[in-house]
Amino acid sequence: MKATRKLAEFIHDLSYDDLSQDAIGKAKLCLMDWAGVTVGGYAGGRSDLEPMIDALQPFFGPPQATLITRKRKVDIINAALINGTASHFLDYDDIHTGMSGHPSVPVIPAALAMGEYRKVDGKKLITAVVAGFEAECRIGEAVNPEHYGIGWHATATLGGFGACAAVARMIGLSVEKVVSALGIVGTQAFGVRQSIGTMCKPLHAGKAASNGILAVILAEGGFTAPQEILEGTNGFGKIYSTKFDETRIDNLGQPFKIEEVVYKRYASCYFSHATITCMLEIREKHKPITAKIDKITLRVNPIAINVAGNPDPKTGLEGKFSLNYCAVLALLKGRALEPDFTDELVNDPEIRNLMAKVDMISDASLTALESEICIKMIDESEVKEKANLISEVAVSVTEWESILEAKSTNLLRSMFPSARAQDVIAAIRGLEKIDNIEKVVELLS
């Protein structure tokens, strides 16, 4: 059976009873994390998101789905577009390494918008999210690392497939129409990494979410589409990558790819996280006196420099994609949280002075999840450490829950009172018991 149809049959057949407990647990954690980063995105992105909403306002359709934090409903396509953009604004959302992207921010805004409109229950939302993750991550593994390496932004290109799969599962499209929906969303695939560090990067997530909904709506109405969008001679797998490993579409759900998702502990590009972790260990273990530092050498995989190697960031957003800034921030402040990525702090004289002493070395022997740091002091003594984030995938659902509850609660408080934040967390924890997800959305409105 061809890859596209195989994936379509999986999406059509998947039920809540098929899900593992870890898949259910991870789906709820993804929703918890997404709720926090989306509210935080709306709070932190006012200067960018307000003009976006104002520009689109004349074109809003009937009130079908909620704009988070806005106490307002718009049509489902624009709701997914705007909520998706807001949720990726902070670049603080979850990661799947095989996808080489952020799986929640295209999938959840699409599923939540359609789910609110259709008044689905919590189990249907969870199942839709798992289906969406399976689609985008499996396709990602089939085309990566070549796909990401040649410049595509996988959150955009693959995220559309995830959003489409989630919405198709939620409304129960037939297999034939799921095949068509995948064809429609695949032909809309876009998004290049040249956009990193600008508002177009979060826009990619919003567009992937809205493209997924549009694809399902058109397929449901009988719109014709390519039937072999993944494996065809001129299909996604052949055009968007130098290889397409069709075997990655085998054994779907064994295990579910959502079980492999990791969550960001730091509010920056994930390729900076090994460096931050390594520098925090140096700070804790060696306590170097910053005034006596002569040189800081960061040794990282080439892709980390390619994506997060901005040596001279001028804004907080650029700082999220600067290994130099993230390393110095971790050393000086002992953290790398959202309030640390401001224009003012990026241009702080003490930070600028230390950033000037950072040297980045490209080392292909290191994986993208590794970083080595050597700090040479004025007296020529040195401290060295190495960090590897590979173990993040093995962190249990229970352990992640405690981490994400603190992270999301803090972000939710940026716009909601503490009691409301706790209500959101509690509702997501018990999502499978909720008969209409409007109850969750109302808490976020």
pLDDT in tens, 99-142: 999 999 999 999 999 999 999 999 999 999 999 999 999 999 99
Q: Predicted confidence band at 32 (pLDDT cuts at 50, 70, 90)?
A: very high
Helix, strand and coil percent figures for the chain, each rounded to 5: 60, 10, 30
Transcribe 94-134 into DSSP letters: -BBTTTTB-SHHHHHHHHHHHHHHHT--HHHHHHHHHHHHH
Alpha-carbon 333 to chain mean position: 25
- Residues 388-395 have a mean pLDDT of 88
* Alpha-carbon span 367 to 355, nearest angstrom: 24
Q: Cβ(155)–Cβ(106) under 8 Å?
A: yes
- Residues 387-399 have a mean pLDDT of 90
Q: Which residue has the tokens 């939540």?
A: 112
What is the percent of the chain where pLDDT is above 90?
96
Alpha-carbon 260 to chain mean position: 13
User: Which of 175-189, 227-241, 384-398, 411-425 comes out lowest in average pLDDT?
Assistant: 384-398
Whether the per-residue pLDDT at 1 is higher than 90: the answer is no
The pLDDT value recorded for residue 203 is 97
Per-residue pLDDT tens digits for 319-332: 999 999 999 999 99
* Alpha-carbon span 27 to 161, nearest angstrom: 17
Query: In the chain, where are the structural domains located?
Result: 3-262+395-444, 270-389
Per-residue pLDDT tens digits for 265-275: 999 999 999 99
pTM to 2 decimal places: 0.94
**Of 159, 114, 154, which is closest to residue 132 (Cα–Cα)?**
159
The pLDDT value recorded for residue 169 is 98
Output the six-digit token pair for 105. Answer: 């921010």
Whether the per-residue pLDDT at 45 is higher than 90: the answer is no
Whether the per-residue pLDDT at 392 is higher than 90: the answer is no
Task: Tell me the pLDDT of the chain averaged across its residues.
Answer: 96
- Residues 258-267 have a mean pLDDT of 96
Domain 3-262+395-444: CATH architecture, name and number where available: Orthogonal Bundle (1.10)
CATH of the domain spanning 270-389? 3.30.1330.120
The pLDDT value recorded for residue 46 is 85
Whether the per-residue pLDDT at 394 is higher than 90: the answer is no
